């Protein structure tokens, strides 16, 4: 039986950690996309994405598996409850349709060989091959990022926990909008999710904390390799 991973350093070890990038797509992030056209506040998302781009590059340099998630909401994939929600909320405009600019990635770009998972529900695990892909790669920890914090990112993180993965929720690598009946700001909605994540489902930290762990480990490995060559 594998030992329990206690520390952040143990959890984000490139040998068994995967970076999950959820729904960083034009319809959710670009000013001309669905969220922008429906007058949602994109400021938090658009501030976050450049930081996430840098973090993805740091993960690649560390040898961490990177998995990109995209939503596709073509009509045949919508369930009755999803259609009812759209009607109830007045969400008449279509979004994230196959082959459209809106469904394409926003400022992030998978490299050749990196996994892309297409989902039709909030969670990236629901009805997809994600669990099998991660298990076949020996992954124990999901480092969860993307948009939106309180919907698809949170749903994916919860399901990762239910599938027995360690969850590391990147506080400044996720963001949301203020589409909420309470009048709360994007930052307040984001904070509600991160509090619940920390209490119940996993570790919440910033991207730099993880990147520093990777950099320290890489420097240590280099020193050991140099010493062996002497």
Alpha helices in 6-150, H assignment, sequence order: 8-11, 26-29, 34-37, 43-62, 80-89, 130-136
Cis peptide, bond prior to residue 203, ω within 30 of zero? no
Known active-site residue 119:
yes
The rounded distance, in Å, linking the Cα atoms of 20 and 64 is 10
Q: β-pairing, 166-175 with 203-205?
A: parallel
The rounded distance, in Å, linking the Cα atoms of 140 and 162 is 13
Closest to 61 (Cα-Cα) out of 223, 213, 165: 213
Max intra-chain CA distance, the chain: 70
Instruction: Tell me the chain's radius of gyration from C-alpha atoms.
Output: 18
List the catalytic residue out of 23, 27, 29, 159.
23
Known active-site residue 23:
yes
User: Do the Cβ atoms of 17 and 167 come closer than 8 Å?
Assistant: no
Phi, psi of 116 (to 5 degrees): -120, 125
Known active-site residue 41:
no
List the catalytic residue out of 27, 29, 96, 152.
152
List the catalytic residue out of 27, 119, 159, 205.
119
Which residues are known catalytic residues?
A: 23, 119, 152
């Amino acid at each position: 039986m594998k030992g329990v991973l206690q520390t952040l350093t143990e959890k984000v070890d490139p040998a068994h950690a995967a970076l999950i990038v959820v729904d960083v797509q034009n319809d959710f992030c670009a000013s001309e996309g669905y969220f922008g056209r429906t007058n949602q506040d994109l400021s938090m998302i658009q501030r976050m994405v450049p930081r996430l781009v840098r973090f993805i590059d740091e993960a690649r340099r560390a040898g961490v598996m990177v998995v990109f998630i995209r939503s596709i909401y073509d009509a045949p994939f919508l369930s009755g409850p999803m259609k009812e929600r759209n009607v109830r909320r007045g969400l008449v405009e279509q979004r994230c349709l196959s082959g459209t600019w809106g469904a394409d990635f926003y400022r992030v770009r998978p490299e050749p060989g990196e996994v892309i998972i297409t989902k039709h529900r909030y969670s990236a695990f629901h009805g997809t091959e994600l669990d099998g892909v991660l298990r076949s790669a020996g992954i124990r920890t999901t480092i969860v990022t993307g948009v939106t914090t309180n919907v698809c990112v949170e749903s994916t993180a919860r399901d990762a926990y239910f599938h027995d993965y360690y969850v590391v929720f990147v506080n400044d690598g996720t963001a949301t909008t203020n589409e909420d009946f309470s009048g709360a700001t994007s930052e307040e909605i984001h904070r509600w999710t991160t509090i619940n994540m920390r209490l119940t489902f996993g570790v919440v930290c910033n991207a730099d904390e993880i990147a520093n762990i990777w950099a320290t480990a890489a420097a240590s490995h280099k020193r050991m390799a140099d010493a062996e060559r002497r």
